[in-house]
Structure 1
Amino acid sequence: MTNSAARPAGRREWIAFTVLLLPLLLVSMDVSVLYFAIPAITRELDPSATQQLWIFDSYAFALAGLLITMGSLGDRIGRRKLLLVGATAFGLASVCAAYATSAEMLIAARVLLGIGGATLMPSTLALVRNLFQDAVERGRAIAIWSGAMTGGIALGSVMSGVMLNHFWWGSVFLINVPAMLLLLALVPVLVPEFKDPAPGRFDLLSVPLSTAAVLPLVYGLKEIAAEGPEPLHLVSVAVGLAFGFVFVRRQRTRDDAMVSRALFRGRGFGAGIALNAIAAFAMMGSAYFTTQYLQSVLGMGTLEAALWSLAPSLLIGAAAPVSAALAQKTDRAYVIAGGFVLAAAGFALIGLVGSDSLWLLLTGAGVLACGLVTVMSLVADMALGAAPAEKAGSAASLLETGQEFGGALGMAVLGSLGTAVYRSDLSGAEPAVRETLGGAVATARQLGGPAGEQVLALAREAFVHGMQYAAWGGTALLLAAALLAAALLRRLGAPAAQPAEGPAAQAPALAG
């Protein structure tokens, strides 16, 4: 079986790609769409403190836990088919969430949204890999894909704030329904089916193993970021690592493994996953501080803070396409390394932020985002280009799972570093003030007058001090990542075009 020459994408492929951006944008928006809705949900549904946390986290946990399974399933049954199933589930779950009458019902709907999101994310990226057989065009498309994903997270919080100014809290979920209906109407017409022509038997035991590895690990890392290294959280991380060891061992010894060993034979695939995780580490680690800075240090309202947080996203739209063009003219290793250096410069600017430095913060966040999107778009293209076309779903799911791990780890490590500095600076303060900046703000409001202002000023200075330490730690990590990228990827070259093989993976003319 031989590969034909790479066929340039036409108008049909680019229109299909535009349609595929819809689920990507909505899934990434759903990560942040509840930021403003939770007070209204609390009034209407009266959730307990634990239920409130699960309303937030159940979506992300279901998404992370099932990415590997859904990527492998899409390779077997067809990525377009899985996308349509996921879009249907996502739309129905959105309606259930919008009209939930209890906290339990909303949590269940959020879980279903996460399951639907787990089918949509790897399917869209895998289909991009299959639609664009030419390496240059694929790099350009993945650059746009990366920018849309990053922008969607920022847009979600703003969109929810705007909707809640005019409608009830359930409206933030109903945003998804028209887009999913449009997707269901257009995808069968515009997007061809792609799947592995010889997928082998589906390894059912690997499904619970992969979930048992991902969920406790992501949960433990997120809780460490929020509450510190409590014994339960450390045990959760240990359990996830133990199941991860068993899962990896099973994948290495079975012919019908869920994660094909053929993926890691491609030069650049493993390095791409690792570098993508480092970029996610820095992105989520920085977001942990910048969102709190805008609201608790500068005293902005939530909608105002969300609107300001969109400012760095304006630069992202240009960063990914420019980096894709540069990667075609010079060694991609140096462009990726340059992206890490640019991101490190952004972190260094954040390290100079004081207690009243809005524009310096936004500049640093913008430079950081440009560098990280440069890295993430190029390493995603590199990893997918190195993977066999028939395994694109599994390759995409591994990239995104690594991104989930990196993000959770970034919040845990940089968040813990900043918290340690904050608590050290306030070692003589009362527990509520020393615990978190939010606790200090609440205490200052209770005290009022000069005493409250003094508490708030000290807490804000301590938070900024902790953010500075975390930013310099992030700067050092990203500079090390730049050296690692240059060393690992040098002379890797541009990915060879690998059109999908088999009758189910031919040109878009077979769609319908």
Structure 2
Amino acid sequence: MSVTSDDSKHQPHAKRWLALTILMLPVLLVTVDNTVLSFALPKIAEALHPSASQQLWIIDAYSLVLAGLLISMGSLGDRKGHRKLLLIGSLGFTAASFITAYSSNATQLIAGRAFMGGFGAMLMPSTLALIRSIFVDREERRLAVAIWATTLTVGSAIGPLIGGILLEFFKWSSIFLLAVPVLIPILILGPVLLPESEPDAPGPMDFISILQSVIALGALVYCIKHLASDGPDTLVLAGLGIAIIIGRQFVRRQMSLPIPLMDLTLFRNKAFSGAVTINLMSLAFLIGFVFSSTQYLQIVLSMSPLNASLALIPGQIMAIAISILIVPVAQRVSISILIPTLLSFTAAAFLLVASLDSSLIVLIVAFALLNIGVGAITTVSNDVILSATPPNRAGAASAISETGYEVGVVLGTTVLGGVVTAYYRGTLQLPDFLTPLQIRLGSETLAGAYSVSTTVAEDQANQVMHSAVRAFEGGITSMAWVAFILALLAILIARHTLTPQTTSP
């Protein structure tokens, strides 16, 4: 990607870093949005009464669309200009967020989240592409990319805190209005500070590949969600079949095209494929933990949104600190040792939850351990990905890395959140005095059981919540064991793929 003027290569030092500051706003917003919504789920459930499947879709509709369109939006930016795409995405994301804030039912909220994901996909590739245009000096660019990667971690970490503060004083819709003050500076200062890029990608957009990638990923997520909420049936088999068939066609098409939408040949490098996989799994661990723990803190422990978010502050501090401190460490310690060590913190976090009860202290310590691992891995893995990629393919590698990041978010709620939901629905035994409608509502989600408990007498409410809490705690324990096993698998993957020989530039 080239820029339209040499002026961008000779911008004053202060202007370059001010431009970077502006570019970090959409990165921060997109990543905050991945975790902030989990804190609002109890209030959303109370207001809109979504089913268990709809709750998962409220979280994942955004990340699913975002992940499905990241590669294609990166390609569109190469053709039309990344600054133009960034400004259009910022305007669209702001408008979609504003409209979504006033959803009156779960279906509208899911649709709004999907539109937000579409516009969000315009933001992430453009920010990294513009960083490469603004910072032509290698050392400055390396620092700028490190700041970009750190912002990913910071956004995911502070999402619960921002959500807790907003929900303490405002309605659940306030979390969507957050986009307005964050993205307005982009629309005002972007045209002044950011250089435009020349269209330099040959050939038309490959809409067939775009459609294949979205269908394959969407079908896979649907069958996992349906399996968790309704058990195995023909729809699960159909979804899995579609995902496999369309996914295989997508791969074959990419390998045959002279200019593919996704450069899958990059995965032939063990370090690249290993780093993308580890990054994906790390984000899945973080999102899966936040999805279940935020509901537990607010509904089971009866904590306010603000107090629940304050309980997670030690973990948020750890994430921010480790993402900064890990940079000099990564220069001295081999990644084949460093990343497995960081993953051991993640494994320890879930082992702690699986072995002990889901008490407040356990969740605080586990979240801190989890963020030590995930916060550092997010920074280190991006450096590994770029180091394992030829310079002329850095753009394609970055797009794949960002896609893996968002797929990890989807899998966090789909797989780990699905384990909690499946265990809850499979083991819950509600009292017989409830009506069929109350049993159906209480069996959907923990929030649904809490809503039912408010409509019956106090002694009956205690019985309802006792059964629901016991089932939900069992779901968290099962999820923790699954995550622990996956963390051990991630350690083996890191040891096998991330060797010093394969990561040398």
* Residues 1:227 and 1:290: Cα distance change in structure 2 (over 3 Å): farther
Give the structure 2 partner of residue 149 of structure 1.
155
Give the structure 1 partner of residue 472 of structure 2.
463
The 1-side partners of 2:307 and 2:493 are apart by 39
Give the structure 2 partner of residue 384 of structure 1.
386
* Residues 1:389 and 1:52: Cα distance change in structure 2 (over 3 Å): same
Give the structure 2 partner of residue 14 of structure 1.
17
**Secondary structure of 2:207 counterpart:** coil
Alignment match of 2:275 (pick from 260, 272, 277):
272
Give the structure 2 partner of residue 484 of structure 1.
493
TM-score (norm: length of structure 2): 0.81
- Please say if residues 53 and 226 of structure 2, whose CA atoms lie closer than 8 Å, have aligned partners that are also in contact: no
Question: Higher helix proportion, which one?
Answer: 2
State the Cα deviation string for residues 66-104 of structure 1 (Å, max 9, x = none).
122112222333333322221222233344445779988
TM-score (norm: length of structure 1): 0.80
1:206 and 2:212 correspond: no
State the Cα deviation string for residues 389-413 of structure 1 (Å, max 9, x = none).
4544433332233233333334344
* Residues 1:265 and 1:14: Cα distance change in structure 2 (over 3 Å): farther
- Please say if residues 336 and 494 of structure 2, whose CA atoms lie closer than 8 Å, have aligned partners that are also in contact: yes
Which one-letter code corresponds to 1:151 in the other structure?
A: A
Deviation at 1:106, TM superposition (A): 6.5
Give the structure 2 partner of residue 3 of structure 1.
none
**Secondary structure of 2:138 counterpart:** coil
The 1-side partners of 2:310 and 2:492 are apart by 35
Listed as ranges, the gaps of 5+ residues in structure 2 are: 1-9, 433-438
**Which aligned pairs between 1:35-184 and structure 2 lie closer than 5 A?**
36=40, 58-97=61-100, 109-128=112-131, 131=135, 133-134=138-139, 137=143, 140-158=146-164, 160-161=166-167, 164=170, 171-184=174-187
Deviation at 1:157, TM superposition (A): 2.1
- Please say if residues 341 and 482 of structure 1, whose CA atoms lie closer than 8 Å, have aligned partners that are also in contact: yes
- Please say if residues 322 and 376 of structure 2, whose CA atoms lie closer than 8 Å, have aligned partners that are also in contact: yes
1:354 and 2:360 correspond: no
The 1-side partners of 2:404 and 2:431 are apart by 39
**Which aligned pairs between 1:198-237 and structure 2 lie closer than 5 A?**
199-237=202-240
1:453 and 2:462 correspond: yes
**Secondary structure of 1:30 counterpart:** helix
Deviation at 1:306, TM superposition (A): 3.6
- Please say if residues 36 and 157 of structure 1, whose CA atoms lie closer than 8 Å, have aligned partners that are also in contact: yes
- Please say if residues 385 and 397 of structure 2, whose CA atoms lie closer than 8 Å, have aligned partners that are also in contact: yes
- Please say if residues 89 and 116 of structure 1, whose CA atoms lie closer than 8 Å, have aligned partners that are also in contact: yes
Which one-letter code corresponds to 2:167 in the other structure?
A: G
The 1-side partners of 2:445 and 2:109 are apart by 28
Listed as ranges, the gaps of 5+ residues in structure 1 are: 1-6, 497-512
Deviation at 1:471, TM superposition (A): 1.4
The 2-side partners of 1:10 and 1:493 are apart by 35
1:238 and 2:241 correspond: yes
Give the structure 2 partner of residue 506 of structure 1.
none
Deviation at 1:11, TM superposition (A): 4.6
Give the share of equivalent positions with the same residue, in percent.
35
- Please say if residues 167 and 174 of structure 2, whose CA atoms lie closer than 8 Å, have aligned partners that are also in contact: no
Deviation at 1:388, TM superposition (A): 4.3
Deviation at 1:230, TM superposition (A): 4.9
Which region of structure 1 is more displaced relative to structure 2, 430-439 or 476-485? 430-439
Alignment match of 2:259 (pick from 232, 256, 261):
256
State the Cα deviation string for residues 412-432 of structure 1 (Å, max 9, x = none).
443444455556665696665
- Please say if residues 23 and 180 of structure 1, whose CA atoms lie closer than 8 Å, have aligned partners that are also in contact: yes
1:395 and 2:397 correspond: yes
Deviation at 1:453, TM superposition (A): 2.8
Deviation at 1:278, TM superposition (A): 1.5
